[in-house]
Chains A and B, each alone.
Chain A
Amino acid sequence: MNLLPLIVVVPLITAVVFSYIYRSKYVKPLTLFIGFILLVLPLLGTYGPYFFGGHGIVYIGTIPLVSGIVYTLNPLKETMIFTLMLIGSIVLVLSTRERELSGVFTSLVLMGLASVSAVILTEDLFNLYVFYEIAAITQAGLVILSGTEEAYRSAFRYLLVGTMAGSILLLGVGLLLSATGSLNIGDMGRCLTVNPLTPTVYGGLLMLIVGLAYGGGLPPFHTLKADLYARAKPFVAAILQAYSKFILIALMLVVLKLFGNLPIFHTTRGVLIALSVFAMVFGTVMALLQEDYRKLLAYHTVSQGGYVALGLALGTPLAILAGIFHGINHTLYKSALFIGAHILDKIKSTDMRKVGGLLLVTPTLAFLILCAKLASIGIPPFNGFQSKLLLAEAVMNANMPELAVLMLILSIGTFLYMMKAFYLIFLRPCSEEQLREFKDVKISKYYILSLGLLLVLCLFLGIYPDIVIDRLYPVVEDIGVKWVLESIKNS
């Protein structure tokens, strides 16, 4: 029996339950319980398609077409969902240490997990749109829960632009539906390959890219996303960035599946690479200018989103693999960094001008954050190194050495601002009085343990990257764009 739908259904139903019992005294124990259940969910599905209603695969003449909504599970999707659920689980467990936890927070996190899982699993473009919109509302809701004026403003801005971007994405879905007569991504891709391209298809593609840029935090929506991460509580930003990263990967894969083997992808690839490079450069430059650690991490997330998008935009199997692997790695170490920022916020502030000398107060935290920073910069033996190396190799294979040089320069930039932040927070001398004030703050062991767990994973994937790569490669090999490979071979 295939229990694949439970990956979406369980968090969705429990989200509704939590929204009803949000003031109950059982919220904390139930949140802990569901936090552990989430880790089991990705293991419930079996590989292959799952049909929701409809008539399965029907034949029109000799052409097979999908009837109804289909979810598919493969090792790639399973790995992505497992990473997502792991981060969700950690955030839920940590939320039980927060005084002001209510069922609303748990409900929103679960709703987000359900919707992003559905975006990853679905093969139906409209179903993807529906869950994409739910994810957008959920993200805004999680930021609103921070309760600050800036958080309200960021969420409102995000929703305003999101409503517009959502409408554009829906119009794109409608145009592609009218061009192909189907909403199944596989059927649509096959139909587009055999039929001549019309302005409707061009319009649909353009609108899909707008939706992708909004959901994944690529330009021109990158500042909105950065603002969202910076205004949310840091441990909430950990799950927000995971949502964005996986939505970005899922939508990029949709673009590749639909348009990868069409001549139009030549231009599309250029546009997507340009957007990715802009996100990488903008994120790094803006992060260099920040004095607030939260904002620094927010812009770093934007720049790393660019790396992920770059890999997927290049279109070769190796590049797609590198992009997805970097997305998974980034989600892990960035969650660790955001949890670290949350601890700093509890000690004093994330404003780097107001803290200093914390190495003497919490050496364990300093060590863990340093490890997470090394992973984010791309220094061995951490996972960031493996995925960045793979990405650089993919870029070189795609005959774009200039991008590899740019990646190297931006990594130096990342090193500079990460080390600047480390110096200001942990090494800069500060007064005895301030140190005493910092020492008085009690830090829950849950935070340190979750940081440690994430870093162990980062280290493990840095030493044994093949465990993930071997699982992902057979899937991405099929998605790779054939003409890109041929043009590389010919050159």
Chain B
Amino acid sequence: MDLQLASFITAGALVVLGLYGFFFVDNVIKKIIALSIIGNGVNLTLVAMGYKEGGYAPIYIPSVEFQVFAREMAYPLPQALVLTNIVIGASMLAVMLALSIVFYRKYKTLKTSVILKED
């Protein structure tokens, strides 16, 4: 199978799996993991968009003529986006996990139905 297509299918599967976890699992940590999986699915989609069959990695190779390199390299912009997004995702994750610890200390459970219950 075409590698790009396979990547898109995998990314789709990750997003669907993440959505299932987010909406139907009653556990704070699992919800956070589900969100992380969705984020990874999106990242994979972006990387797959810039993929080029048989192309060069977007790091300049002096031995290859510039015109050929520019034509044949993978599109580097999505990779830069994904790198930045990984950092943002990590910071979001850190804050949510810190809050989960606070909730666990208070309620002695990780059930979303208990923690996020309206008064």
Q: Is the CB of A174 within 8 A of B46?
A: yes
Q: Is the CB of B22 within 8 A of A137?
A: no
Docked complex Cα distance between A157 and B22 (Å) = 12
Q: Is the CB of B102 within 8 A of A163?
A: no
Q: Give the chain A neighbours of B96 by CB distance below 8 A.
A: 156, 159-160, 163
Q: Give the chain A neighbours of B38 by CB distance below 8 A.
A: 163-164, 167
Q: Give the chain B neighbours of A140 by CB distance below 8 A.
A: 95
Q: Give the chain A neighbours of B84 by CB distance below 8 A.
A: 126, 130
User: Is the CB of A171 closer than 8 A to any CB of chain B?
Assistant: yes
Other CB < 8 Å A-B pairs besides A167-B35, A177-B81, 10 of them? A126-B84, A140-B95, A156-B96, A160-B35, A163-B89, A164-B35, A167-B38, A167-B41, A170-B81, A177-B49
User: Is the CB of A116 closer than 8 A to any CB of chain B?
Assistant: no
Q: Mark A149-190, 1 if CB is under 8 A from B, else 0.
A: 110110111011011101100110110011000010000000
Tell me how far the C-beta of B57 lies from the nearest C-beta in chain A, rounded to whole angstroms. Answer: 19
Question: For residues 79 through 118 of chain B, which have their beta carbon under 8 Å from a beta carbon of chain A?
Answer: 81, 84-85, 88-89, 91-92, 95-96, 99-100, 102-103, 106, 115-116
Docked complex Cα distance between A136 and B78 (Å) = 23
Q: Is the CB of B49 within 8 A of A152?
A: no
Contact of B77 among A164, A170, A177 (CB under 8 A): A177
7 cross-chain pairs, A with B, having the tightest CB-CB distances, nearest first: A163-B35, A174-B46, A156-B99, A133-B88, A167-B42, A178-B49, A171-B42
Q: Give the chain B neighbours of A160 by CB distance below 8 A.
A: 22, 31-32, 35, 96
Docked complex Cα distance between A238 and B117 (Å) = 27
Docked complex Cα distance between A130 and B95 (Å) = 17
Q: Is the CB of B92 within 8 A of A162?
A: yes
User: Is the CB of A249 closer than 8 A to any CB of chain B?
Assistant: no
User: Is the CB of A144 closer than 8 A to any CB of chain B?
Assistant: yes
Q: Is the CB of A170 within 8 A of B116?
A: no
User: Is the CB of A88 closer than 8 A to any CB of chain B?
Assistant: no
Q: Give the chain B neighbours of A157 by CB distance below 8 A.
A: 116
Tell me how far the C-beta of A58 lies from the nearest C-beta in chain B, rounded to whole angstroms. Answer: 13
In the complex, the number of residue pairs spanning A and B with C-beta atoms less than 8 Å apart equals: 75
Q: Is the CB of A137 within 8 A of B95?
A: yes
Q: Mark B25-53, 1 if CB is under 8 A from A, else 0.
A: 00000011001001101100110010000
Docked complex Cα distance between A155 and B98 (Å) = 12
- With contact pairs A174-B78, A177-B49 given, residues A166 and B88 touching in the complex (Cβ less than 8 Å): yes
User: Is the CB of A219 closer than 8 A to any CB of chain B?
Assistant: no
Q: Give the chain B neighbours of A178 by CB distance below 8 A.
A: 49
Q: Is the CB of B103 within 8 A of A152?
A: yes
Select the residue from B31, B39, B81 with max chain A CB neighbours within 10 A: B81
Q: Is the CB of B91 within 8 A of A137?
A: yes
Select the residue from A133, A150, A157 with max chain B CB neighbours within 10 A: A133
Docked complex Cα distance between A137 and B42 (Å) = 19
Contact of B95 among A141, A167, A171 (CB under 8 A): A141
- With contact pairs A170-B85, A177-B49 given, residues A152 and B99 touching in the complex (Cβ less than 8 Å): yes
Docked complex Cα distance between A359 and B109 (Å) = 47
Q: Is the CB of B81 within 8 A of A126?
A: yes
Q: Give the chain B neighbours of A155 by CB distance below 8 A.
A: 99
Docked complex Cα distance between A323 and B85 (Å) = 32
Which residue of B has the minimal Cβ distance to A134?
Answer: B88
Q: Is the CB of A152 within 8 A of B45?
A: no
Question: For residues 96 through 153 of chain A, which have their beta carbon under 8 Å from a beta carbon of chain B?
Answer: 126, 130, 133-134, 136-137, 140-141, 144, 149-150, 152-153
Tell me how far the C-beta of B15 lies from the nearest C-beta in chain A, rounded to whole angstroms. Answer: 8
Q: Give the chain A neighbours of B42 by CB distance below 8 A.
A: 167, 170-171, 174
Q: Is the CB of B103 within 8 A of A156?
A: yes
Q: Is the CB of A159 within 8 A of B45?
A: no
Q: Is the CB of A183 within 8 A of B77?
A: yes
Tell me how far the C-beta of A476 lies from the nearest C-beta in chain B, rounded to whole angstroms. Answer: 30
Tell me how far the C-beta of A199 lies from the nearest C-beta in chain B, rounded to whole angstroms. Answer: 14
Q: Give the chain A neighbours of B100 by CB distance below 8 A.
A: 156
Q: Give the chain B neighbours of A156 by CB distance below 8 A.
A: 96, 99-100, 103, 115-116
Q: Mark B49-91, 1 if CB is under 8 A from A, else 0.
A: 1000000000000000000000000000110010011001101
Docked complex Cα distance between A144 and B100 (Å) = 13
Which residue of A has the minimal Cβ distance to B35?
Answer: A163
Which residue of A has the minimal Cβ distance to B28?
Answer: A156
Tell me how far the C-beta of A292 lies from the nearest C-beta in chain B, rounded to whole angstroms. Answer: 12
Which residue of A has the minimal Cβ distance to B89?
Answer: A163
Which residue of B has the minimal Cβ distance to A159?
Answer: B96
